[in-house]
Homo-oligomer: A and B are copies of this chain.
Amino acid sequence: MGQITFSDVVAKTKTVNGAPADFGRRFIIKTGLAASILALWQTEPSWALEKRMSDNKKHDTLPAILTMNDVSAVSPALAHYTAEPLLNGLWKRPELSPRDRSVVTVAALIARIQSIEMPYHFALALDNGVKPAELSEIITHLAFYAGWANAMSAVAIARDIFHQRGIGIDQLPPAKEKLLLLNEEVEKQRATQVSNNFGAVSPGLVQNTTDLLFRDLWLRPALAPRDRSLVTVSALIANGQTGQITYHLGRAMDNGLTQEQASEVLTHIAFYAGWPCAFSALPVVKDVFEKRRKGHHANFQSRSTIAAPADGSLSANHHRYSASHCHPRTYD
C-alpha cells in the first residue's frame, strides 16, 4: 500500500539542527507508530491526497492539519520530541499494546476537545486494531463521561474518516442490541450506596445514572467492559477529575486492566494531557494500588467474570458483567 515505517521516513529526511526537518511530501506516514500526533495527509501519495481533497470538498470539516514541516517551522525541538521520545520511544514501550495506547489517546483527545489531533489519531486507532464499532462506541461512551459536545466534536471528525474508509452503518453498533448480563447484586449495592448519599440531592441525576449508565451504556457489548473502563479512566485523568478516579480505576482493574497497564496509562497520558494531569492522578492511583494489595477489594464481590480478550473484542453478547466497586466513595 505504499506505507513505510517511521524509521524509513527518518532515514530519508534532511536533518536540521539534529531534528528531522523535512519528512518529504511523497512518503506516507500512516503506519502504526509512525507519526503519532500529526495528520499527515499532505505526505501521502498523490492519488490518496487527491481522493481526500475531493472527499473534503463534500465534507470540509476537517480542522487545521499539520505536517512535520509545520511543526519544525515553529519549533524544531517539538518536532524532535515528537519524533523521538514520543513516537520512537513511548509508543514502542511494551507495557501497553499500540491498540491500548490508541484507546487511551483517543479518549484523552475527546475528553479535552483537542480537535487538531483527532483526525490523525482516529485513523491511527483504526490502523492499530481499534475496530470501527469500538471507535463509535468510545465516542458514545464519552458523550456521557466527557460531555455531549465532546462526543459531537469527535463525530465531526470520525464521520469523514469513516466516509474515506468506506465504513458504513453495517460496521457500527446498532442503537439497541442485546445487552451484557448485569451482575444484579453488585449493581444493587452501587445504586443503593449512591442513592443513600445523593438520592435526595439530585434524584434525576441518580436515576439517570442507574437507568442510562449502569443498566444500559455499560452493558452495551460493542466495547468490552475492560476497554470501556480504560476509556473512562483515561478521560478522568485527562480532565483532572481526580475525585472520580478511585471508583473507576478499581472498576477497571476488576474488569481486567492489570496494574502494569494502569501504571503505563499514566506514563502515556502525560504526553497527551500534560504532566500536571498525570501527576495529579499519581497519589490517587497509588492509593488504589495499595488498597487492592491489602485486599480491601476482597470485601466486595470483585473480579469480573469476564476476561477481556487481548484484542479487546467480545465475540459473544452474553457475558456476565460484574463490576465491583471497591471503595466507599462510589459515585457514578
Q: Are A145 and B275 in contact, with the CB atoms below 8 A?
A: yes
A95 close to B (CB within 8 Å): yes
Residues of B within 8 A of A86 (CB): 148
A18 → B minimal CB distance (Å): 4
Segment with Cβ contacts to B, from A23-31, A200-208, A250-258: A200-208
* Chain B residue with the shortest CB-CB distance to A287: B201
Known: A81-B143, A150-B114, A275-B213. A205 touches B266 (CB 8 A): yes
Residues of B within 8 A of A147 (CB): 108, 112, 114, 271-274, 277
Copies of this chain present in the complex amount to 3
* Secondary structure class of chain A's binding surface, majority of residues: helix
Residues of B within 8 A of A274 (CB): 142, 144-147, 150, 235, 239
* Chain B residue with the shortest CB-CB distance to A244: B276
Q: Are A140 and B81 in contact, with the CB atoms below 8 A?
A: yes
A37 close to B (CB within 8 Å): yes
Q: Are A144 and B240 in contact, with the CB atoms below 8 A?
A: no
Contact among B16, B85, B113 with A212 in the assembled complex (CB-CB below 8 Å) = B85
Segment with Cβ contacts to B, from A67-75, A180-188, A309-317: A67-75
In the bound complex, how far is the Cα of B307 from the Cα of A281, in angstroms? 34
* Chain B residue with the shortest CB-CB distance to A163: B73
In the bound complex, how far is the Cα of B74 from the Cα of A163, in angstroms? 9
Residues of B within 8 A of A74 (CB): 136, 139, 154-155, 158-159, 162, 172
In the bound complex, how far is the Cα of B72 from the Cα of A116, in angstroms? 23
Interface size grouping (class) on chain A: 35 or more
Q: Mark A289-312, 1 if CB is under 8 A from B, else 0.
A: 100000000000000000000000
Q: Are B286 and A201 in contact, with the CB atoms below 8 A?
A: yes
Contact among B18, B155, B169 with A78 in the assembled complex (CB-CB below 8 Å) = B155
Residues of B within 8 A of A16 (CB): 169, 174-175
Which 7 pairs of residues, A with B, have the shortest CB-CB distance?
A: A19-B175, A17-B174, A204-B267, A114-B149, A80-B175, A61-B64, A18-B176
Could you list 21 A-B pairs, sorted by A, with CB under 8 Å? A19-B176, A74-B154, A74-B162, A75-B136, A75-B137, A75-B140, A78-B155, A116-B156, A144-B274, A145-B276, A147-B271, A147-B274, A198-B282, A201-B266, A201-B282, A201-B289, A202-B278, A205-B278, A205-B279, A208-B267, A235-B276
